[in-house]
Amino acid sequence: MYWEQKSTEIIKGEVLTALAHNRNYRSSAVLGLPASYLDPEVFPPDAAFLEDAPFAKVFMENPNHIGCHTLVGGESAFGGTHALERDLIRICAEEMMDAPAAGYDGYVASGGTEANIQAMWIFRNMFMEQYGIGSQHIGILYSSDSHYSFYKAGNLLQIKTFEIEVAEESRQMSVDVYAAAIRKAQAAGVRCLIGVFNMGTTMFGSVDDISSLLPVLKASGMPYKVHVDGAFGGFVYPFSNKEHALTFNNPEVSSMTIDAHKMLQAPYGTGIFMARKGLMEFTHTVEASYVLGGDSTLSGSRSGANLVAAWMILNTHGSEGWRTKIAGLLALTDELCGILDQMGIAYYRNPEMNLVTMRANQIPAALAEKYLLVPDSHGENAHWYKIVVMDHVKPAILRSFIEDLQAACAPMA
Ligand SMILES: Cc1ncc(COP(=O)(O)O)c(C=O)c1O
């Protein structure tokens, strides 16, 4: 895995050059697009800071990235920033997730939810077309710790969903429970399966053991496809764990979600969807005839600014800089866990992730509120509270939390 670290000046130059290759609403004749730059009353284009703020400048110029630009050229008016999107997808797919050069498609979706639904949509259409079956014969298998976007996908696409219980301590699906879920799906008339595997679940940061479960999926004898949800862990796990089977390096993995608006600290609206070549075509909407190059994405119109932010962040750090940043967050997470161990506070943590999920019965509600710990369920039903160690979670804040927790635990000791 390698991409270069670039200076601020170089990044600025490349973004502005890309923007200069777009059709400019101000300086050229654009009559047919139902779009324009941002309202100049609210966003004055001559604000002095814009010259040094390439992201804000792209945001103001408002390029539309409708369509999938690894697949087809797309609307030529925004070719400059389309090229940056292709480069962003290249870094994520080839450098981070081991995809073969030009062996993938991808686009910047509104978020992890859309990217996950895009994957389910592709596989549903593929199975329906290849096997001539109705959507009710397709099932998604995922752990009970998976994100709720898979329930949305099942509902929207009218495919069956099978939630598989995880073990309380390890947060893993066992081979037996997985096999039982497949039998249940078969009994419910499912003939094709979509296996979802998490690279960092929302509440626990747990990583599904794909190596032990794939053989079970294979043994079912049913056609299947595999999607990896790395919405949370995608910018962490590949940097902390070199030996895993959750990337395109594994020939069984067909698609992936990673979110730049979580760990990468890009603005909301920067989910990244990637799939092996030959899959996006299954969601090609032929009726999108007014869009040059057509549309195979769920989104329709989407901003060209968000991807520029993600591209700038990745190039500002370079792969080694990002690895160092993640190592720092993990070291801080280690420290937190060490203190929790000393205090006898029960928690779950994947050692290669920056998320610590503590048993709620050992955390006073007032502390959870003070430090905005996120529960697994709001109200009286919280069983767990999580801490996500990110950029803003400084050692001093963690120290303060620990001191408060020690003070709260003292009378009980
Ligand atoms: C593992 C996982 N998948 C998907 C999502 C959905 O992402 P978004 O909120 O960007 O739609 C999340 C959000 O927390 C997540 O943690």
Tell me the CATH number at 390: 3.90.1150.10
- Determine the atom of ligand 1 nearest the C-alpha atom of 202: 16
Please indicate, yes or no, if residue 66 is contained in any of the structural domains.
no
For the Cβ of 229 lying below 6 angstroms from any atom of ligand 1, the answer is yes
Q: What is the mean pLDDT of residues 350-376?
A: 94
Distance between CA atoms of 260 and 313, rounded to whole angstroms?
9
Q: From the CA of 196, how far away is ligand 1's center (Å)?
A: 14
Q: What is the mean pLDDT of residues 26-40?
A: 72
> Residue 149 pLDDT more than 60?
yes
Residues contacting 274, CB < 8 A, separation 6+: 89, 92, 93, 97, 99, 104, 105, 106, 248, 255, 256, 257, 258
Pocket residue to mutate for ligand 1, from 149, 298, 350, most atoms within 8 A of Cβ: 149
Q: Give the tens place of pLDDT for each residue, 259-300.
A: 999 999 999 999 999 999 999 999 999 888 777 778 999 999
Q: From the CA of 242, how far away is ligand 1's center (Å)?
A: 23
- Please report how many Cα atoms fall inside a 13 Å half-sphere around the Cα of residue 158, on the Cβ side: 6
Q: Are residues 91 and 136 both part of a single domain?
A: yes
Q: What is the mean pLDDT of residues 126-137?
A: 98
Q: From the CA of 66, how far away is ligand 1's center (Å)?
A: 22
* Three-class secondary structure of residue 168 per DSSP: coil
H helices of 62-161, in order, are 79-90, 112-131, 149-157
**Contact by Cβ (8 Å): 239, 323:** yes
Residues contacting 281, CB < 8 A, separation 6+: 71, 296
Q: From the CA of 121, how far away is ligand 1's center (Å)?
A: 17
Q: How confident is the model at residue 413 (pLDDT cuts 50, 70, 90)?
A: very low
Residue 228 DSSP class: E
Q: What is the mean pLDDT of residues 50-66?
A: 90
Residue 380 DSSP class: G
Q: How confident is the model at residue 409 (pLDDT cuts 50, 70, 90)?
A: confident
For the Cβ of 85 lying below 6 angstroms from any atom of ligand 1, the answer is no
* Locus of tokens 């978020």: 111
Q: Which amino acid residue places its CA nearest to atom 6 of ligand 1? A: 112
Please indicate, yes or no, if residue 2 is contained in any of the structural domains.
no
For the Cβ of 118 lying below 6 angstroms from any atom of ligand 1, the answer is no
Q: What pLDDT is stored for residue 209 in this prediction?
A: 97
Q: Which residues form the domain of 37? A: 8-61
Q: From the CA of 151, how far away is ligand 1's center (Å)?
A: 12
Q: From the CA of 262, how far away is ligand 1's center (Å)?
A: 9
Distance between CA atoms of 382 and 369, rounded to whole angstroms?
12
* Beta-sheet pairing, 253-259 with 271-276: antiparallel
Q: From the CA of 116, how far away is ligand 1's center (Å)?
A: 9
Residues contacting 334, CB < 8 A, separation 6+: 351
Q: Are residues 181 and 302 both part of a single domain?
A: yes
Q: Which amino acid residue places its CA nearest to atom 5 of ligand 1? A: 112
Q: Are residues 115 and 220 both part of a single domain?
A: yes
Q: Are residues 248 and 387 both part of a single domain?
A: no
Distance between CA atoms of 13 and 7, rounded to whole angstroms?
10
For the Cβ of 231 lying below 6 angstroms from any atom of ligand 1, the answer is yes
Q: What is the pTM of this model?
A: 0.94
Residue closest to 207 by CA, chosen among 243, 177, 252 = 243
Q: Are residues 304 and 324 both part of a single domain?
A: no
Beta bridge partners of 207: 199
For the Cβ of 82 lying below 6 angstroms from any atom of ligand 1, the answer is no
Q: Are residues 159 and 191 both part of a single domain?
A: yes
Q: Give the tens place of pLDDT for each residue, 299-322.
A: 999 999 999 999 999 999 999 999
Distance between CA atoms of 80 and 155, rounded to whole angstroms?
37
Please indicate, yes or no, if residue 361 is contained in any of the structural domains.
yes
Residues contacting 142, CB < 8 A, separation 6+: 150, 161, 162, 163, 164, 195, 196, 198
Domain count, the chain: 3
Q: Are residues 222 and 362 both part of a single domain?
A: no
Q: How confident is the prediction for the chain on average, in pLDDT? A: 93
Q: How confident is the model at residue 26 (pLDDT cuts 50, 70, 90)?
A: confident
